[in-house]
C-alpha cells in the first residue's frame, strides 16, 4: 500500500499520526504543505472525495484569523481558494492510501486500516 500523509510538521495531530505510523512500522511519505506546496488538481480530488466542508478546518487558528468578510458566504470555490492560498486551513492529517482519502487521526481506526 502506498500511503502519503499530508500536513504541516508542527501540528500536534500530525505529530501523533506520524508517531503512530512509525511505531507500527507503516511506511509512508510525508508531504509538508508549506514546504512542498499544494497541487490544485490534488485539492480538487480531495474535495470531490471528501467534500470541502470536511476539508476546511473552520476551528483552526488560520481560519479564525481571517477577516469576517473572508469567512462569510463560503462555498466550494471560495473554500478551495482559501485552502490553496493557506493550506494550513486543511484539516489534518490528510491521508492518501492508494487513492482512498481520509482526514483526521484515530488510533483505533488506523489500527484497523493500516496495521499489519
Q: Identify the segments of the chain with pLDDT beneath 70.
A: 116
Q: Cβ atoms within 10 A of the Cβ of 35, count?
A: 9
CB 52 within 8 A of CB 76: yes
**CATH assignment of the domain containing 62:** 3.40.30.10
Report the domain count for the chain.
1
Q: Which of 8, 11, 42, 76 is catalytic?
A: 11
Omega cis (within 30) before 111: no
Q: What range does the domain containing 76 cover?
A: 3-114
Helix (H, G, I), strand (E, B) or coil at 41: helix
pTM beyond 0.85: the answer is: yes
- Residues 86-102: pLDDT tens digits? 999 999 999 999 889 99
pLDDT at 116: 58
Active site residue 116: no
Amino acid at each position: 500500500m502506498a500511503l502519503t500523509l499530508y500536513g504541516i510538521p508542527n501540528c500536534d495531530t500530525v505529530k501523533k499520526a506520524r508517531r503512530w505510523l512509525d511505531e507500527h512500522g507503516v511506511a509512508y511519505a510525508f508531504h509538508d504543505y508549506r514546504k512542498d506546496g499544494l497541487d490544485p488538481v490534488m485539492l480538487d480530488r480531495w474535495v470531490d472525495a471528501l467534500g470541502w466542508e470536511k476539508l476546511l478546518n473552520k476551528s483552526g487558528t488560520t481560519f479564525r484569523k481571517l477577516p469576517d468578510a473572508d469567512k462569510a458566504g463560503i462555498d466550494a470555490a471560495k473554500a478551495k481558494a482559501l485552502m490553496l492560498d493557506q493550506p494550513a486551513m486543511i484539516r489534518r492529517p490528510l491521508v492518501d492510501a492508494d487513492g482512498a482519502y481520509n482526514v483526521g487521526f484515530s488510533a483505533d481506526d488506523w489500527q484497523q486500516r493500516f496495521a499489519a
